[in-house]
Homo-oligomer: A and B are copies of this chain.
Amino acid sequence: MSERFSEDEQALADANASFYAAFEHKSLAEMGDVWAAASPVSCIHPGWGLLVGRDAVLESWRQIFESTVSARCRLRRPRLFVAGDVGWVVLVEELALVHEPADHVHALVLATNTFLREGGRFRMVHHQAGPPPEAELSEPTDVPPPHTLH
C-alpha cells in the first residue's frame, strides 16, 4: 500500500493501524502509546458519553479490555486526511467482539480518528464512533438521502 500514500499519509495510516492493533491486543500499554500525552484528548465510544482527558480515556479502555475476551477489527474504506500537523481517518469498523460469558457481538461502526503530531509522530487526540449511516455501508455517493437533517 505504501506506494499509494505520501509519507504523511503513511505515517497517519500507521498510527491508525496501531490504534486497532492495541484494541485487538487488548494492550493498555499500546493504547497508552497511541493516545497523545501532551495534548488534550477526547473519546466517544458507541453508546457512551464523551470522555475527556487521557486518564478517563485510558480507564475506558481498561474497562473495555477487561470485559472483552477477544476483539477483531476489520477496517472498511479508510479515508485519510492530512493538514500540517493534524491528520484524521474516517472509516467503517467491522467489529467481531467476544464478551464474557460467551456474548458475541458483530457490529458496524462509523469512526473518525483524529491525530496530532507529537514528538514527530501522529498520536490520537479524538476518537468518535457511532452508528454508520446507510450511505457509508454502500458505495460512495454525493446524493443526499430522502430525509436529511443537515
**A131 is contacted by which of B23, B90, B114, B131 (Cβ under 8 Å)?**
B131
Query: Residue among A36, A67, A85 with the most chain B CB within 10 A?
Result: A85
| Chain B proximity mask over A38-70: 1 for CB below 8 Å, otherwise 0 | 011110111111111000100110011001100
Known: A52-B79, A144-B63. A149 touches B46 (CB 8 A): yes
Is A21 positioned at the interface, with any CB of B under 8 Å from its CB?
no
Closest approach, in angstroms, between the C-beta of A50 and any C-beta of chain B? 5
The answer to whether A135 and B48 touch across the interface, beta carbons within 8 angstroms, is yes
**A40 is contacted by which of B42, B82, B134, B150 (Cβ under 8 Å)?**
B82
The answer to whether A47 and B145 touch across the interface, beta carbons within 8 angstroms, is yes
Query: Residue among A50, A51, A84, A85 with the most chain B CB within 10 A?
Result: A50
**A133 is contacted by which of B46, B107, B142, B145 (Cβ under 8 Å)?**
B46
- Copies of this protein in the assembly total 2
Number of interface residues of A (CB under 8 A): 61
Main secondary structure of the interface of A (DSSP, over half): mixed
Known: A84-B39, A86-B86. A149 touches B45 (CB 8 A): yes
Residues of B within 8 A of A107 (CB): 149
Chain A: residues with CB nearer than 8 A to chain B? 23, 36, 39-42, 44-52, 56, 59-60, 63-64, 67-68, 71, 79, 81-86, 88, 90, 95, 97, 105, 107, 109-110, 112, 114, 116, 125-126, 128-131, 133-136, 138, 140-142, 144-145, 147-150
